[in-house]
Amino acid sequence: MRAADEALIVIDVQNDFCPGGALAVAGGDGIVESINALMTEFQAVILTQDWHPEGHSSFASSHEGLEPFSVTTMPYGPQVLWPDHCLQGSQGAAFHQGLHTDPAQMVVRKGFNPAVDSYSAFFENDQTTPTGLEGYLHTRGIAKLTMVGLALDFCVNFSAVDGAKLGFAVSVDKNLCRAIDMDGSLEAALENMKRAGVQLNG
């Protein structure tokens, strides 16, 4: 069993990020059993859930004439536009049915602000609006984070980098992640995490 100051953070293991989903990540469902096994080692388990309202500003469908996977400029900076995904309450937003959700003490929902996307478990994409996870972890006395899930180059990357910036010791188990990998995003994310002091395992 890991120490009491360690937490496992399982990022966005939801149907829409698995094969057959609206924003499928290749092999996304292939990590579920290993994540379940890893959960049994941790006293603290936290899940995140991408959770968008209809017409969310990160959806290409909300921007006349713009295609999914193109990049636009939001007031807070560049934003990739995605197919509609993880609609609040939908089957696509539900956790993969094989994922053990009972061991989790906390589920962090993110991306519910219609005007701002939220890749990171800690901050929305404006990089200032907190999700509350930092306070939750601090008040539980947690200092070390292991992150796994989907997608390695987006939500895992942003969560890991923010965690490290906040002073947590963050490691990412790459074997228990899968990437979208568009336009070199995976390579850039790995570099970004290394630079931020995130330990990359696997």
Active site residues: 12, 110, 155
The sign of the dihedral angle between the CA atoms of 154, 179, 50, 22 is positive
Residue 6, CA distances (Å) to 11, 118, 134, 161 in order? 16, 24, 14, 17
Binding status of residue 50 toward Zn ion by CB under 5 A: yes
Three-state DSSP state, 130? strand
Q: How far is residue 105 CA from its own chain's centroid?
A: 17
- Closest-CA residue to 50 (of 13, 9, 96): 13
Which of Zn ion, ligand VGL, none lies near 42, with the C-beta cut-off 5 to 8 A by kind?
A: none
Min dist CB 86 to Zn ion, Å, is 5
Binding status of residue 153 toward Zn ion by CB under 5 A: no
Stretch that binds ligand VGL, among 32-40, 125-133, 148-156, 164-172 (CB under 6 A): 148-156
Residue 188, CA distances (Å) to 4, 123, 158, 185 in order? 33, 20, 12, 5
Stretch that binds Zn ion, among 14-22, 65-73, 106-114, 166-174 (CB under 5 A): 106-114
Binding status of residue 84 toward Zn ion by CB under 5 A: no
Q: Which one, 75 or 141, has the nearer CB to Zn ion?
A: 75
Residue 36 near residue 99 (C-beta atoms within 8 A): yes
Min dist CB 110 to Zn ion, Å, is 8
Which of Zn ion, ligand VGL, none lies near 84, with the C-beta cut-off 5 to 8 A by kind?
A: none
Binding status of residue 18 toward ligand VGL by CB under 6 A: no
Q: Which residues bind to ligand VGL, rule: CB under 6 A? A: 12, 17, 50, 82, 119, 150-151, 154-155
